[in-house]
Amino acid sequence: MSSIANPQGSNSVRIVPQDRVWLGAGILLVCVVWLFWDFFVQQGRFAINQQADWGHTLVIPFIAGYFVWLNREQILAAPFKPAWTGLVVLMLGVAWYSFIALGPAAFKHHNLMGIGVALTIIGIALLFFGWRPMRWLWFPIAYLIVFGQTLSDSALLQFTQYLQDIAAHGSYWGLTLLGYDMSKEGNTLRIHQDGKIIPVNIAEACSGMRMVVAFLALGVAMSYRGLDLWWQRVILVLSALPTALFVNILRVMTLGVLATYDSGLADGDFHSMVGLLWLIPAFFIYLGIMWLLRNIVVGDESDAESTTSASEPLSIRFSPRVRMTFVAACLVLVGGGISLQFAMQALNIYLRKSPVELRSSLANLPTKVEGWTMLQDYRMAETGVEELGTEVYLSRTYRSEELPGEPVIHFHLAYYTGTIDMVPHVADRCMVAGGLEKRAMPSNRPMDIGQERWVEDPVNTIDGDPYLVQSTQNWLTGDEMVIRMPHGEFELRTTEFHDPKIPNSRIYAGYFFIANGRLTPEAGGVRILAYQPKDKYAYYCKVQFTLSGGADFDADQFVEIASGFLEPILTDLMRCLPDWAEVQGATPPIDNV
């Protein structure tokens, strides 16, 4: 490292050799990755496992780095003067991340943790480079922060529903103009052809949300690089939404046309491939919009500023305090990481939840249950499974042999484990998407589940109370075995729907969740129960019932029937789900309980 005097002679600057710059940058990068390892692992899982939605986040850091390289001459035009304000921002980022990591389960959110990472990146840039280069660095940093991380399902859910409606309406009218005999129920299109009905479901994955996010990232990048006037940039970025929606409607129309030849072409891998193929013309449409914007106003080429200089090579120059700056940054990052790891071990906190497998397949649930007989098992299409968010589910109908009218109940289970930011897919959304209309807002109603045969576990407790257990017979051997039952009050979140085509119809759907051995009727309650900071494992199971009736059918009757069905099958369900006491390493209950 060499020192030279600056032109004013008041201070000296250091020209840092590139090998030392890369070494120092590498050390800082290692410190940042080590400190935020859980965040980066989770982000990587989102990008890899949901490539169609978030795969673009993997290339965002390279695009942001390219923006920095484009402005390298302006950034390196003067020596870097560290701003110690950046150290405060850096410390705030580490503190925020630690607070989210160590705080209550309600704060465990990927994007909230991302705020700490973002503040840390801003703090490091400001600390090392000072305020002057931030004129050119703020945009790449902001671009990396905004588009480089996954947005949670809960943040996008409401917007996604609107996009589903737009895609359904647009593709309906588009296919109608092409001459197809169409009908629409909610977000499901039906093509009537040769006496057959071909359904095309506009699932959440088909809403166009993935295109909107990707096109926003693309539009911001293209406007920054290819347009000069602020209003041109704003228009190009805003055009991302209508462009993505238009192309998505064309994509759904393509799937509808293909389904008339082979219904399998509208599902599975081919469904995803059609979506990827439509990204190519969508990109050229976007390029055309940018070309139009650039040619609306023709600028004076003589006004263009040239910042290239071939006479003098670029060098990285710092103030003499760069060593102190580097040491301070490393101390904050390493100290914060060590403190966080120590606190997590001392408090027994796990940021990443490990999955826990079912003890038995849900398909092993009995086909005949005290007055109820199974009618049919249903398998969902691949797009429906993608929308559900899990491949571990059971969708089955049972008919009552004893109740008046022999009602048929649709029993649905969906099992999730490990992931933190998964939003449960509930009936409030999917039944409306299927064409039904709500009569009233959801309400929580108590279920009457007889617990006379349940006794207390004399050894193990949950939330300070003894587990309740019930004896049953082993499915294979017939030997007696003890099953722990879920802890809490049984409440059914109930919603009333009706079919617009049948004015007097009443359809009720109700659900609750079993999360880490506990009960909750609220989708939001799953995060609180299943993702406690001190729990190493996490799982939850959605238990849902759907029942239809005539004009006299009401919510009380629905809950009564659902309770009567659940009571005899609950023990078998808990036999399939993980025993939370065993997962936690508890002592097995005694045999003569």
pLDDT at 310: 45
Residue that has been written with the tokens 């005999």 in this structure: 181
Q: Can you tell me whether residue 57 is helix, strand or coil?
A: helix
- Global pTM? 0.76
CA 153 – CA 527 distance, rounded (Å): 13
- Report the candidate in 414, 477, 490 with the shortest Cα–Cα distance to residue 445: 490
The pLDDT of residue 116: 94
Q: Identify the pLDDT of residue 219.
A: 81
pLDDT, position 110: 84
Contact 331, 388 (CB under 8 A): no
pLDDT in tens, the chain (593 residues): 444 444 444 456 667 677 788 888 899 999 999 999 989 988 888 888 776 667 788 889 999 999 999 888 888 888 888 889 999 999 999 999 999 888 877 777 888 899 999 999 999 999 999 899 999 999 999 999 988 888 776 666 667 777 777 888 888 888 889 888 888 776 678 888 877 877 776 665 555 566 677 778 888 888 887 777 888 888 888 888 888 888 888 888 888 888 787 766 556 556 666 666 777 787 788 888 888 888 776 554 444 444 444 445 667 777 777 888 889 999 999 999 999 999 988 888 888 888 899 999 999 999 998 889 999 998 887 767 777 778 899 999 999 988 888 899 999 999 998 876 666 677 766 776 666 777 878 899 999 998 888 999 888 889 889 999 998 877 666 777 889 999 999 999 999 988 777 777 788 999 999 999 999 998 888 888 888 888 889 999 999 999 998 878 889 999 999 999 999 999 999 999 999 999 987 655 444 33
pLDDT of residue 55: 77
Q: Which amino acid is at 209?
A: M
Identify which of 498, 494, 375, 492 has the alpha carbon closest to the alpha carbon of residue 434.
498
- pLDDT reported for residue 1: 43
Structure tokens at 214: 């990707």
How is the chain split into domains, by residue range? 13-150+320-347, 154-296, 362-583
Pick from 497, 509, 518: nearest CA to 561: 509
